[in-house]
Amino acid sequence: EAQVTQNPRYLITVTGKKLTVTCSQNMNHEYMSWYRQDPGLGLRQIYYSMNVEVTDKGDVPEGYKVSRKEKRNFPLILESPSPNQTSLYFCASTKSGQGGEQYFGPGTRLTVT
């Protein structure tokens, strides 16, 4: 089954404790992205990747890091999480030439206390 998977689905952590949210897709898509969803703001793009070792900032990159060492994986790293990063996070992948149609993962709900 074609899908985007994220782990963990739920995470509660404390300020300053480094964490990684994993994302994997099995569709051989070139592009992958991370978004955060906040009430009243919709989804905002954090980072995106156009292929292995090629990443770029989205609209809200501060406080986040990403890497793309393999085509299928695109982890999101919070090196020193803060309470304002409490949010619902989505990973997505896109096939080249599809006009940006994104396939979304199930989401990761992160709470930073």
Which residue ranges make up the site for other proteins (CB under 8 A)? 30-31, 33, 35, 40-45, 48-50, 58-59, 90, 94-102, 104-107
Q: Which is nearer to other proteins, 15 or 36 (CB)?
A: 36
> Which candidate, 76, 43, 70, places its Cα nearest to that of 54?
70
User: In whole angstroms, how close is the CB of 29 to other proteins at the nearest point?
Assistant: 10
DSSP assignment of 58-105? -S--TT-EE--SSTTB--EEESS--GGG-EEEEEEEE-TTSTT--EE-
Q: How far, in Å, CA of 83 to CA of 92, rounded?
A: 24
Q: Which is nearer to other proteins, 50 or 52 (CB)?
A: 50
Phi, psi of 8 (to 5 degrees): -80, 170
Q: Which is nearer to other proteins, 1 or 101 (CB)?
A: 101
Q: Which is nearer to other proteins, 31 or 64 (CB)?
A: 31
User: In whole angstroms, how close is the CB of 37 to other proteins at the nearest point?
Assistant: 8
Joined tokens for residue 12? 């509660």
User: In whole angstroms, how close is the CB of 15 to other proteins at the nearest point?
Assistant: 26
